[in-house]
A and B are shown apart, each in its own frame.
Chain A
C-alpha cells in the first residue's frame, strides 16, 4: 500500500517501455498492455484517493532518502483526485483510439501506443511529484509525447507540432530559469523544503522575478490568454484519437503546477501575493473573453472547441486568482468538469468524423438522426460549458461566483456571466446545426446513416463522459468536501 504513489506512475511508464517489445508479438498486444497498465493505474489511484481521504496526505521518498536529499512524491486529496482524472480520461482515450488506427505495422502501432502511455505517465508524474526539477522532467515527457501526437495529425499537424515544440520548449526553459532562481536563493529543489525556507528568509525580489518566469511558463503550457498562440492549431490538428486527452487534460496539469507554486511554495503570506492574484485575474478575464469571442468566429468545430479551451482555462485561473477556499474548489471542480466536457466534446467530434468524415460545422446538419447518443453528449457537454444546471459547469461557476462575491470582486461575476453568454452563442450555434439545420450535401451523400452509431470502443467513452458531466454536477458537494480537506490544509 505504501508504494501506491509510485506504482501509479510506474505502471504506464513500464508499459510504455515494454510496449514496443510486446508489439513484436502482435500489433494489438502492446495496446492491451498499455490499456491494462492505465486501467491498473486507475484502480490504484482510486485506492490512493481513498487512502488519502482516510489518513491524510502521503509522502513517498525515492531511494528512501529523506527530503530534501532525494526526490519525493507528495499526494494530497487534490492531486489524488487529479490522478484519478488523468487515469480515467487516459484509459477512455486509449480505448477510443483503436478505430482511428490506419496501419497495422507493428512498430508504428507500438510507438503510437507508447506515446499515449508516456503522455499519461508525464501528466501523472507532474501531478504527483514534490520536487521542482522532477516536475520539469515530467513536463518534458508530457510535451515530447504531445508534440508527437500532434504531428501525427496530418500536414497541418506537423507545423502545429513544430510551433508547439518551439513555444513549449521556451516555456520549459523559462520554467527552469524560475526554478534556478528559487534554487539560487534556497539551495533546495524539494517543494515543501523550499516553502519552509522561503517563508523564513525568502528574498522577496527574487521570488517576484521567479514567479514572473513561472507564470509565463505555466501560462504558456496551459494556453492562458497572451501565451495561447500555439494552442488552437495544436488542438485542432492533433491526432484524432488522442485529441480528448490532449485537449481535455493536458492543459490542466500546468494549472495545477501553478497552484502548487502559488499556494504551497509561496504561500498566501508572501508580500507580493496580492499582485499575483491581480495579474492572474486580469489574464484569466482576458482569456475568458478573448477565447469565447474567437471561438464564435470558427467554422471548424475542432478550432471552436480549441478556442473555447482558452476561455475555460480562464475559469480555472480565475478561481486561483480569487483565492478563497470556495473559489479554489470551484477552480478544481471546473478542472474535473471541463476535462469531461471538453474530452466529451472531442470524443463526440471524433465519432462524427469517424462516421461522416467531417469536422466542418456546416456539414453537421441533422446528424442527430444517425447518432442520437453522440448528439446527446454534445448537448449535455455544451450546456455544461455554458453553465446550465444541473451539469457540472454550472456548479463550478457557482463556487467561483460565490468566491468572487465573498471577496467583493463583483467584476469577476460580471465576467463569468458575460463569458457564459458568449459560450451560449457558439454552443447553441452548434446545437442548432446538429438538430435543426438541413442536412448538407456531403452528409446526405454518405450511406453511413445505416448500421450502429459508432463502434463500442468509441461508445464507452461517450457514455462515460455523458454520465460524468451529470453526476459530477449532481454530487459536486461530495467532491468539494474532499477538495476542502486539502485546500484548507494546504492553501489557506
Chain B
C-alpha cells in the first residue's frame, strides 16, 4: 500500500497538482465576477500548463541543460525542449496579460467598474 502511494506521489503526483491548478483556474474564470480576478485565474491556468510541460521534461539524475565537461550522454541533462517551449509560452502569457490589463484599464475608465454584473447593466446604455 505504502509503496503504491509512494510510487504515485513520485511519478504522477505532480500531474495531479498541475491539473488541479488548471481546473481551479478554469473554475475561477467561470465563477468570479470581477474581471481582475478572472484575469488572475487565467494566469493561474497558464502557469499550470507551464508546470505540466516542465513535468514532461523532468529526468532522474539530470542536471540543467548547460553542457559541462565530461557529461555528454542524453541521460545526463534534463530535457531542454519543454523549457524552450515554455519560454515562448511565458512570453505569450505575458503579452496576453499585458493586453488584458490595458483593456481592463479602459473598461474601468468607461464603465466605472470591473464587476461583471455592473458592466452588463451599463453596457446597454451604449
Contact = CB atoms under 8 A, between A and B. Distances in A.
Q: Do chains A and B touch in the complex (CB under 8 A)?
A: yes
Interface of A: 133, 136-137, 140, 144, 147-148, 151, 154-156, 158-159, 161-162, 165-166, 169-170, 172-173, 176-177, 180, 183-184, 189
Contacts of B53: 176, 180, 183
B126 A155 contact: yes
A173 B35 contact: no
A105 B53 CA distance: 43
Given A177-B22, A177-B52, A165 B89 contact: no
Interface stretch (B3-11, B64-72, B92-100): B92-100
A180 B52 contact: yes
Nearest to B49: A176
A165 B126 CA distance: 21
A137 B92 contact: yes
- Nearest 9 CB-CB pairings of A with B: A162-B103, A155-B126, A140-B92, A176-B49, A158-B106, A173-B45, A184-B56, A155-B110, A180-B52
7 contacts: A144-B96, A151-B103, A156-B126, A176-B49, A180-B49, A180-B53, A184-B56
Contacts of A156: 123, 126
B46 A133 contact: no
A330 B88 CA distance: 37
B123 A173 contact: no
Interface residues of B, number: 34
A158 B49 contact: no
A166 B116 CA distance: 13
Interface of B: 22, 26, 29, 35, 38-39, 42, 45-46, 48-49, 52-53, 56, 81-82, 85, 88-89, 92-93, 95-96, 99-100, 103-104, 106-107, 110-111, 119, 123, 126
Given A165-B99, A165-B103, A169-B42, 17 more contacts: A144-B96, A147-B99, A154-B126, A158-B107, A159-B111, A159-B119, A165-B96, A169-B45, A169-B93, A170-B42, A173-B22, A173-B46, A176-B53, A177-B22, A177-B49, A180-B49, A180-B56
A158 B123 CA distance: 11
A151 B106 contact: yes
Contacts of B49: 173, 176-177, 180
Nearest to B119: A159
Interface of A is mostly: helix
Contacts of A154: 126
Contacts of B104: 162
Nearest to A185: B56
Nearest to A156: B126
Contacts of A166: 29, 38-39, 42, 100
B99 A144 contact: yes
Contacts of A136: 89, 92
Nearest to A176: B49
Contacts of A155: 110-111, 123, 126
A122 to B, nearest CB: 12
Contact of A183 (B42, B56, B99): B56
Contact of B96 (A133, A159, A169, A180): A169
A169 B99 CA distance: 12
Contacts of B100: 162, 165-166, 169
Nearest to A140: B92
A158 B96 contact: no
Given A166-B39, A170-B26, A180-B49, A144 B95 contact: yes
Nearest to A151: B103
A154 B100 CA distance: 16
Contacts of A140: 92, 95-96
B95 A159 contact: no
- Interface centre among A147, A173, A189, by most B CB within 10 Å? A173
B45 A170 contact: yes
Contact of A158 (B52, B56, B103): B103
A208 to B, nearest CB: 16
Contacts of B88: 133, 137
B68 to A, nearest CB: 23
B35 A162 contact: yes
B25 to A, nearest CB: 8
A189 B123 CA distance: 43
Contacts of B26: 170
A180 B96 CA distance: 20
Contacts of B39: 166
Given A140-B96, A184-B56, A147 B103 contact: yes
A390 B107 CA distance: 46
Contacts of B107: 158-159, 162
B85 A133 contact: yes
A137 B88 CA distance: 8
Nearest to B41: A166
A418 B57 CA distance: 51
A133 B81 CA distance: 11
Nearest to B79: A187
A151 B106 CA distance: 10
A398 to B, nearest CB: 41
A170 B29 contact: yes
A460 to B, nearest CB: 32
